[in-house]
Chain A
Amino acid sequence: MSSKIIDSLVSSAKNGSAEAFGELYEIYSRDMFRFAYYYLGSSALAEDCVSECVCIAYEKIGSLRKASAFKSWLFKILHNCCNSALREKIRSDGNVEYSALTDLSSESEDINEKLSLKQALSLLSDEDREIVILHYCQGYTSKEIGEILGIKDATVRSKILRSGEKLRKFLQK
């Protein structure tokens, strides 16, 4: 991605141009929705979170100092929106059941059967799930993931290995 193009789009977006912001958004829109969808397990919730993220990002883009950080910044906001959605679910339900957020009811619960991706993802912790999606689904590096989640590079690398192993085992059961 040409940094000059990004710089100019960010600059226009900071001046209030919704179209420029839209161009920036379009680059990542699919990634954002996929991330939220796999993380929350529900396309309706994912749609809400991406929508909320976009509003917040557009509103706050004035505070983005480095245009080159747009992507991590945007995903950081999305990560926060998704986790807020999960926290609100915990608060309103008392306990959160990840499966309650997903459409798992029609899937087989026989443990011996090979798990679907959704089932396998639901067995991971929130953080493992985020890392798995950012890395294995979207190909983000440990550095990018570290910026988004606010954790050390080295920690991300080991978490990528660990959570990848777990997911692989769940899927091949």
Chain B
Amino acid sequence: MIDLNASVVNVDQPPRSFGEKIYLGPIISGLTVTLRHFVRNFFGRKDVATIQYPEEKHEYSERLRGRHILITRDEGELRCVACFMCETACPADCIHIEAEEDPSAEVEWEKRPVVFEIDLLRCIFCGLCVDACPKEAIVMSRTHELAFARREEAIVGIDQLRQTGAMEDQDLGYRPYF
């Protein structure tokens, strides 16, 4: 048996007082609120909420899930071994991989991707591909401003996804943590 009335707080408001009935009281207190914000923002610029977007950017955390990056090894080859785990884990089926045997590999039967395409317009940026990767070959960057004029432009392949430059220069976002 549960006593639903054990900890209940009644929020009913009392009937309106005379000052409230003639509109004036609450209007004045309301105007005080807006005027306080106005004066503080106008003279002090203390708590202006607006950011001047293209020039000034909101600081996102290091976990932001933006566009993907395919990480490369030191010698410039992709880390990806085409194990299809990200493709399996993707709820949107937006990853398309075609694999081939890696000719430069020391071990026989090592694979690498020939085609690695992500349809950025299908992608829901959930990060499950990053969690699924056993090689930390796919991570996410903080590039999240993605606009396209045509749908075909949004299907990006290895060339666009490949890491460019050193790891420190990447604007890295969501990566596997545990």
- Are both chains from one complex? no
